[in-house]
Protein backbone atom coordinates (compact mmCIF):
# COMPACT_ATOMS: atom_id res chain seq x y z
CA UNK A 1 0.00 0.00 0.00
CA UNK A 2 2.69 2.47 0.95
CA UNK A 3 4.56 1.77 -2.18
CA UNK A 4 1.49 2.59 -4.23
CA UNK A 5 1.24 6.02 -2.57
CA UNK A 6 4.92 6.59 -2.98
CA UNK A 7 4.64 5.94 -6.61
CA UNK A 8 1.73 8.40 -6.73
CA UNK A 9 3.77 11.21 -5.16
CA UNK A 10 6.46 10.70 -7.74
CA UNK A 11 4.03 10.90 -10.60
CA UNK A 12 3.75 7.18 -11.09
CA UNK A 13 0.20 6.98 -9.74
CA UNK A 14 -2.22 4.36 -10.75
CA UNK A 15 -4.73 5.25 -13.43
CA UNK A 16 -7.35 2.96 -12.16
CA UNK A 17 -10.20 4.86 -10.44
CA UNK A 18 -10.74 1.85 -8.34
CA UNK A 19 -7.23 2.09 -6.96
CA UNK A 20 -7.46 5.88 -6.37
CA UNK A 21 -10.74 5.67 -4.44
CA UNK A 22 -10.11 2.48 -2.55
CA UNK A 23 -6.61 3.16 -1.34
CA UNK A 24 -7.37 6.12 1.00
CA UNK A 25 -10.23 4.17 2.49
CA UNK A 26 -8.01 1.18 3.00
CA UNK A 27 -5.32 3.38 4.46
CA UNK A 28 -7.60 4.80 7.16
CA UNK A 29 -8.98 1.34 7.79
CA UNK A 30 -5.49 -0.01 8.20
CA UNK A 31 -4.59 2.88 10.52
CA UNK A 32 -7.64 2.13 12.65
CA UNK A 33 -6.82 -1.55 12.63
CA UNK A 34 -3.20 -0.82 13.44
CA UNK A 35 -4.07 1.33 16.45
CA UNK A 36 -6.56 -1.28 17.65
CA UNK A 37 -3.92 -3.93 17.23
CA UNK A 38 -1.45 -1.79 19.21
CA UNK A 39 -3.98 -1.32 22.01
CA UNK A 40 -4.71 -5.05 22.02
CA UNK A 41 -1.01 -5.83 22.01
CA UNK A 42 -0.37 -3.45 24.92
CA UNK A 43 -3.28 -4.95 26.84
CA UNK A 44 -2.01 -8.44 26.13
CA UNK A 45 1.49 -7.47 27.22
CA UNK A 46 0.17 -5.90 30.43
CA UNK A 47 -1.94 -8.98 31.05
CA UNK A 48 1.07 -11.23 30.57
CA UNK A 49 3.14 -9.13 32.99
CA UNK A 50 0.32 -9.21 35.58
CA UNK A 51 -0.25 -12.94 35.04
CA UNK A 52 3.45 -13.69 35.43
CA UNK A 53 3.68 -11.63 38.63
CA UNK A 54 0.52 -13.26 39.98
CA UNK A 55 1.59 -16.83 39.22
CA UNK A 56 5.04 -16.10 40.65
CA UNK A 57 3.46 -15.03 43.93
CA UNK A 58 0.92 -17.83 43.92
CA UNK A 59 3.37 -20.62 43.13
CA UNK A 60 5.84 -19.55 45.78
CA UNK A 61 3.74 -20.55 48.75
CA UNK A 62 4.83 -22.52 51.81
CA UNK A 63 4.59 -25.84 49.94
CA UNK A 64 6.90 -24.50 47.24
CA UNK A 65 9.56 -23.61 49.81
CA UNK A 66 9.24 -26.90 51.69
CA UNK A 67 9.74 -28.73 48.41
CA UNK A 68 12.97 -26.78 47.99
CA UNK A 69 14.00 -27.92 51.47
CA UNK A 70 13.19 -31.52 50.51
CA UNK A 71 15.48 -31.21 47.49
CA UNK A 72 18.28 -30.16 49.83
CA UNK A 73 17.49 -33.12 52.08
CA UNK A 74 17.81 -35.40 49.04
CA UNK A 75 21.14 -33.83 48.20
CA UNK A 76 22.37 -34.34 51.78
CA UNK A 77 21.44 -38.02 51.56
CA UNK A 78 23.46 -38.41 48.38
CA UNK A 79 26.45 -37.09 50.33
CA UNK A 80 25.94 -39.76 53.00
CA UNK A 81 24.33 -37.39 55.53
CA UNK A 82 21.01 -37.85 57.30
CA UNK A 83 18.53 -36.32 54.84
CA UNK A 84 17.41 -33.00 56.30
CA UNK A 85 17.12 -29.78 54.31
CA UNK A 86 16.26 -26.18 55.14
CA UNK A 87 15.64 -22.91 53.35
CA UNK A 88 15.37 -19.45 54.85
CA UNK A 89 12.96 -17.11 53.09
CA UNK A 90 12.56 -13.36 53.25
CA UNK A 91 9.81 -11.54 51.34
CA UNK A 92 9.21 -14.54 49.10
CA UNK A 93 12.88 -15.07 48.23
CA UNK A 94 15.25 -17.75 49.44
CA UNK A 95 18.22 -16.06 51.11
CA UNK A 96 19.79 -19.14 52.68
CA UNK A 97 19.86 -22.86 51.86
CA UNK A 98 21.23 -25.67 53.91
CA UNK A 99 21.56 -29.42 53.77
CA UNK A 100 22.54 -31.46 56.81
CA UNK A 101 26.34 -31.63 56.64
CA UNK A 102 28.09 -32.49 59.94
CA UNK A 103 30.10 -35.31 58.36
CA UNK A 104 31.12 -33.33 55.27
CA UNK A 105 32.07 -30.27 57.32
CA UNK A 106 33.47 -32.15 60.32
CA UNK A 107 31.19 -29.87 62.28
CA UNK A 108 28.71 -31.16 64.85
CA UNK A 109 26.70 -27.94 64.51
CA UNK A 110 26.25 -28.22 60.74
CA UNK A 111 22.58 -29.09 60.88
CA UNK A 112 20.55 -27.94 57.87
CA UNK A 113 19.02 -25.00 59.76
CA UNK A 114 22.39 -23.73 61.01
CA UNK A 115 23.91 -24.01 57.53
CA UNK A 116 20.96 -22.04 56.09
CA UNK A 117 21.18 -19.39 58.84
CA UNK A 118 24.93 -18.91 58.31
CA UNK A 119 24.54 -18.52 54.58
CA UNK A 120 21.61 -16.13 54.99
CA UNK A 121 23.52 -14.07 57.54
CA UNK A 122 26.51 -13.74 55.21
CA UNK A 123 24.25 -12.81 52.31
CA UNK A 124 22.27 -10.27 54.34
CA UNK A 125 25.39 -8.92 56.01
CA UNK A 126 23.64 -9.19 59.35
CA UNK A 127 23.33 -11.61 62.24
CA UNK A 128 19.71 -10.66 62.91
CA UNK A 129 17.35 -12.04 60.30
CA UNK A 130 14.05 -10.42 61.23
CA UNK A 131 11.17 -11.01 58.85
CA UNK A 132 12.49 -14.40 57.76
CA UNK A 133 10.73 -17.74 57.61
CA UNK A 134 12.53 -21.06 58.10
CA UNK A 135 11.39 -24.15 56.21
CA UNK A 136 12.97 -27.36 57.45
CA UNK A 137 12.05 -30.93 56.65
CA UNK A 138 12.56 -32.22 60.20
CA UNK A 139 11.56 -30.78 63.55
CA UNK A 140 14.48 -28.68 64.86
CA UNK A 141 16.57 -29.72 67.81
CA UNK A 142 17.24 -27.47 70.81
CA UNK A 143 20.42 -26.07 69.26
CA UNK A 144 18.78 -25.13 65.95
CA UNK A 145 15.68 -23.62 67.54
CA UNK A 146 17.89 -21.54 69.84
CA UNK A 147 19.89 -20.35 66.83
CA UNK A 148 16.65 -19.29 65.14
CA UNK A 149 15.72 -17.32 68.25
CA UNK A 150 19.15 -15.63 68.19
CA UNK A 151 18.57 -14.76 64.52
CA UNK A 152 15.09 -13.38 65.37
CA UNK A 153 13.33 -15.22 62.59
CA UNK A 154 9.56 -14.74 62.42
CA UNK A 155 8.18 -18.11 61.50
CA UNK A 156 9.18 -21.76 61.45
CA UNK A 157 7.62 -24.43 59.25
CA UNK A 158 8.76 -27.98 59.73
CA UNK A 159 7.80 -31.32 58.21
CA UNK A 160 8.37 -34.56 60.10
CA UNK A 161 8.28 -34.77 63.89
CA UNK A 162 11.42 -35.89 65.71
CA UNK A 163 10.13 -37.60 68.84
CA UNK A 164 13.58 -38.05 70.36
CA UNK A 165 15.44 -34.84 69.56
CA UNK A 166 12.75 -32.43 68.36
CA UNK A 167 12.43 -29.44 70.68
CA UNK A 168 8.63 -29.70 70.84
CA UNK A 169 7.97 -33.44 70.50
CA UNK A 170 10.54 -34.29 73.16
CA UNK A 171 8.94 -31.89 75.63
CA UNK A 172 12.15 -29.84 75.96
CA UNK A 173 10.53 -26.59 74.82
CA UNK A 174 8.24 -26.37 77.86
CA UNK A 175 11.26 -26.55 80.14
CA UNK A 176 13.37 -23.93 78.39
CA UNK A 177 10.91 -21.47 76.85
CA UNK A 178 11.35 -19.05 79.77
CA UNK A 179 14.90 -18.29 78.61
CA UNK A 180 13.83 -17.21 75.12
CA UNK A 181 13.35 -13.48 74.60
CA UNK A 182 11.87 -13.84 71.12
CA UNK A 183 8.79 -15.68 69.98
CA UNK A 184 8.70 -17.70 66.77
CA UNK A 185 5.40 -18.74 65.21
CA UNK A 186 5.52 -22.46 64.47
CA UNK A 187 3.63 -24.58 61.93
CA UNK A 188 4.34 -28.31 61.95
CA UNK A 189 3.52 -31.18 59.61
CA UNK A 190 4.15 -29.37 56.32
CA UNK A 191 4.94 -32.10 53.77
CA UNK A 192 5.68 -34.36 56.73
CA UNK A 193 5.05 -37.55 54.74
CA UNK A 194 7.79 -37.21 52.09
CA UNK A 195 10.21 -35.95 54.75
CA UNK A 196 9.51 -38.97 56.98
CA UNK A 197 9.75 -41.38 54.04
CA UNK A 198 13.09 -39.93 53.10
CA UNK A 199 14.44 -40.43 56.63
CA UNK A 200 12.93 -43.89 56.98
CA UNK A 201 14.44 -44.94 53.64
CA UNK A 202 17.83 -43.60 54.67
CA UNK A 203 17.93 -45.51 57.96
CA UNK A 204 16.53 -48.65 56.39
CA UNK A 205 19.29 -48.60 53.78
CA UNK A 206 21.90 -48.07 56.49
CA UNK A 207 20.59 -50.99 58.51
CA UNK A 208 20.56 -53.07 55.37
CA UNK A 209 24.20 -52.20 54.79
CA UNK A 210 25.07 -53.45 58.28
CA UNK A 211 25.42 -50.04 59.92
CA UNK A 212 24.37 -49.79 63.53
CA UNK A 213 21.78 -47.13 64.26
CA UNK A 214 22.55 -45.95 67.76
CA UNK A 215 20.56 -42.88 68.56
CA UNK A 216 18.52 -42.31 65.47
CA UNK A 217 18.86 -38.65 64.57
CA UNK A 218 21.30 -37.70 67.31
CA UNK A 219 23.65 -35.12 65.85
CA UNK A 220 22.15 -36.12 62.56
CA UNK A 221 25.20 -38.17 61.80
CA UNK A 222 23.13 -41.32 61.58
CA UNK A 223 24.93 -43.12 64.37
ZN1 LIG B 1 19.48 -29.12 64.89
The model scores a pTM over 0.85:
no
Q: From ligand 1's centre to the CA of 219, what distance in Å?
A: 7
Q: From ligand 1's centre to the CA of 116, what distance in Å?
A: 11
% of the chain residues with pLDDT over 70: 75
Q: From ligand 1's centre to the CA of 210, what distance in Å?
A: 26
DSSP 190: T
Which of 187, 176, 192 minimizes the C-alpha distance to 134? 187
pLDDT of residue 56: 59
Helices (H), the chain: 2-9, 17-59, 62-78, 102-105, 112-124, 142-151, 172-176, 192-208
pLDDT of residue 217: 53
Q: From ligand 1's centre to the CA of 166, what distance in Å?
A: 8
Q: At residue 11, does pLDDT exceed 50?
A: no
DSSP 222: T
pLDDT of residue 20: 52
* Residues, beta carbon < 5 Å, ion ligand 1: 111, 141, 143-144
State pLDDT tens for residues 149-178: 999 999 999 999 999 999 999 999 999 999
How far apart, in whole angstroms, are the C-alpha atoms of residue 145 and residue 12?
85
Q: Determine the average pLDDT of the residues in 92-120.
A: 97
> Are the C-beta atoms of residues 149 and 180 closer than 8 Å to each other?
yes
Do the strands 85-90 and 93-99 form a parallel or antiparallel pair, or are they unpaired?
Answer: antiparallel
Q: What is the dihedral of CA 137, 142, 147, 150, to 10 degrees?
A: 130
Q: From ligand 1's centre to the CA of 171, what distance in Å?
A: 15
- Cα dist. 2→6, 7, 13, 86, 123 in Å? 6, 9, 12, 63, 58
How far apart, in whole angstroms, are the C-alpha atoms of residue 42 and residue 69?
39
Q: How many CB atoms lie within 10 A of CB 90?
A: 18
- 160 Cβ neighbours under 8 A, 6+ residues apart: 137, 138, 139, 192, 195, 196, 199
C-alpha 119 chain-centroid distance: 15
State pLDDT tens for residues 52-104: 666 555 568 999 999 999 999 999 999 999 999 999 999 999 999 999 999 99
Which of 206, 173, 194, 178 minimizes the C-alpha distance to 72? 194
DSSP 215: S
Task: Give the active site residue among 113, 133, 139, 218.
Answer: 113
Told to judge if 81 belongs to the known catalytic residues of this protein, a careful annotator would answer no
pLDDT of residue 53: 64
Mean pLDDT of the chain: 84
Q: From ligand 1's centre to the CA of 92, what distance in Å?
A: 24
How far apart, in whole angstroms, are the C-alpha atoms of residue 185 and residue 21?
76
Q: From ligand 1's centre to the CA of 108, what distance in Å?
A: 9
Handedness of CA 12, 18, 22, 24 (dihedral sign): positive
Q: From ligand 1's centre to the CA of 57, what distance in Å?
A: 30
Q: Residue 7's pLDDT band (boundaries 50, 70, 90)?
A: very low
State pLDDT tens for residues 35-66: 777 776 777 777 777 666 665 555 689 999 99
Amino acid sequence: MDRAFDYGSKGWGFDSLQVRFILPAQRSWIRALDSKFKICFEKLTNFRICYKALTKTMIKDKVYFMKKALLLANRAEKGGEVPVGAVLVREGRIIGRGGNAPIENCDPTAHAEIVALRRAGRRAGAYRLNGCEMFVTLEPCLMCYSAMVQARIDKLYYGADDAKNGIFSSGVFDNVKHVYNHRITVESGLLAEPASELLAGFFKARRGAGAVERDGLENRCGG
